């Protein structure tokens, strides 16, 4: 009787998953004719900078109203280190620029997957086909990825930066670490948490210093055009306006901010939560710096906890959450039980919006972020499980030999 060998079945299944995933990503990039929302903000800022104007001014809203319809840009929320990227997009017509933006975003996602594969080689001699397929499928097919590409969001670049950082950290490569930090500082509430984690060692301090110098250099042209004081005045005012917009309300964001809203209906300031995340990351880094015995397991646990600190404490949107994908690679050396817990959490995050639709258990007010309740539950479980395991490993490492 004809018998198909298991490796062949595994190869066929994995090849099918990868093919479907990449085709879906291609559809969301090249084949997506839908007008972006968030990319409008970036393109308009670059357009103004190229004309010698500053987007950190009331003229930004005037031009946004004149050039776009529907959800028009009113405030430029992004930091000045976006100047190089925004000005490049502003050289093209908007319709051309959004196509290029989606294409480069897709390239950033694929590049991030490849880099994470390289990071996995620090733990194991070869990455299993199943793990490769899972990483590609999660990153390409998750609802957060689809949302990010539809809106023209910046998350693909933050994901790429996170992948560079993870690879640099496990491979002890300062160049990759610095590249990762510079890219993650495009979303400062993510980048500063990683910087806080690194500030507990000399090598980390050097990497953060180099990244800070590069970020400052990229911001200089924007600050010169706007003027430092006008920039600060405008930026502080827009940050206050940012929190008042409906998509940025507590019930539309993940993590602690949503938990507080659910439990008591309160609202915790984003700055407070970001500081709390930085403090937690610094404590994690400090504990790590005091340990004499390190292993692939402690590396994987610490980086996974750092990721979950960001996702749990820093208020993010649904489209930001596929930056959790590195955990698929990081959990390679962890215990089987912990891998199962993290795997279940990742499955919840993968299509949280579909779970919300099927069960009807999501908050009815979360029209901008369907699935936020499921994601917050997953973040809580994953972070708790990782901390418990890290405590057990830490106790084992400090226990005197018999």
| Average pLDDT over every residue of 303-315 | 95
DSSP of 104-160? HHHHHHHHHHHHHHHHHTTT-SS--HHHHHHHHHHHHHSHHHHHHHHHT-SHHHHHH
Q: Is residue 398 part of a domain?
A: no
Averaged pLDDT of the chain: 86
pLDDT at 1: 37
pLDDT of residue 363: 64
Q: What is the pTM of this model?
A: 0.91
Q: What is the pLDDT of residue 147?
A: 85
**Lowest model confidence (mean pLDDT) among 275-289, 327-341, 354-368:** 354-368
Mean pLDDT of 292-318: 89
Mean pLDDT of 381-401: 80
Whether 144 is in a domain gets the answer yes
- Whole-number pLDDT of residue 400: 54
Average pLDDT of the residues in 360-379: 77
pLDDT at res. 225: 87
Q: Model confidence over 118-143: pLDDT tens digits?
A: 877 776 556 677 888 889 899 999 98
Q: How far apart are CA 86 and CA 226, in angstroms?
A: 15
How far is Cα 80 from Cα 103, in angstroms, rounded to an integer?
24
Report yes or no on 329 lying in a domain.
Answer: yes
Position 22 in a domain? yes
- pLDDT tens-digit readout, 85-97: 999 999 999 989 9
Is 70 a domain residue?
yes
Q: Is 50 helix (H, G, I), strand (E, B) or coil?
A: helix
Domain that holds residue 299: 6-393
Q: Is residue 74 part of a domain?
A: yes
Number of structural domains found in the chain:
1
Closest CA to 282 of 199, 397, 400: 199
């Amino acid at each position: 009787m004809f018998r198909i060998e298991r490796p062949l079945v595994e190869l066929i299944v994995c090849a099918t998953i990868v093919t479907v995933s990449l085709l879906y990503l291609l559809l969301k990039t090249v084949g997506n004719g839908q007008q972006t929302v968030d990319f409008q903000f970036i393109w308009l800022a670059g357009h103004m900078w190229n004309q010698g104007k500053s987007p950190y001014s009331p003229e930004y809203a005037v031009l946004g109203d004149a050039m776009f319809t529907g959800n028009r840009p009113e405030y430029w929320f992004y930091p000045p280190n976006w100047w190089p990227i925004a000005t490049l997009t502003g050289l093209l017509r908007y319709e051309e620029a959004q196509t290029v933006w989606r294409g480069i975003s897709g390239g950033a996602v694929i590049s991030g997957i490849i880099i994470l594969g390289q990071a996995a080689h620090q733990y194991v001699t070869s990455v299993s086909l199943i793990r490769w397929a899972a990483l590609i499928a999660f990153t390409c097919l998750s609802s957060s990825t689809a949302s990010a590409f539809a809106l023209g969001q910046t998350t693909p670049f933050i994901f790429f930066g996170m992948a560079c950082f993870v690879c640099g950290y496990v491979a002890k490569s300062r160049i990759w670490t610095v590249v990762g930090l510079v890219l993650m500082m495009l979303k400062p509430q993510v980048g500063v948490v990683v910087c806080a984690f690194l500030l507990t060692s000399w090598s980390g301090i050097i990497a953060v210093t180099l990244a800070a110098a590069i970020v400052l250099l990229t911001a200089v042209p924007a600050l010169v055009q706007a003027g430092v004081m006008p920039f600060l005045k405008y930026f502080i005012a827009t940050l206050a306006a940012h929190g008042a917009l409906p998509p940025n309300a507590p019930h539309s964001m993940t993590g602690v901010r949503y938990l507080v809203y659910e439990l008591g209906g309160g609202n915790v300031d984003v700055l407070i939560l970001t500081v709390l995340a930085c403090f937690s990351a610094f404590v994690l880094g400090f504990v790590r710096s005091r340990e004499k015995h390190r292993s692939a397991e402690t590396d994987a646990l610490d980086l996974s906890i750092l990721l979950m600190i960001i996702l749990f404490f820093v208020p993010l949107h649904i489209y930001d959450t596929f930056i959790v994908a590195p955990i698929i690679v990081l959990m390679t050396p962890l215990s089987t039980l912990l891998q199962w817990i993290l795997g279940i959490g990742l499955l919840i995050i993968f299509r949280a919006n579909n779970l919300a639709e099927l069960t009807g258990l999501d908050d009815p007010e979360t029209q901008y972020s369907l699935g936020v309740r499921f994601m917050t539950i997953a973040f809580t479980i994953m972070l708790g499980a990782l901390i418990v395991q890290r405590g057990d490993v830490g106790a084992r490492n400090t226990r005197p030999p018999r």
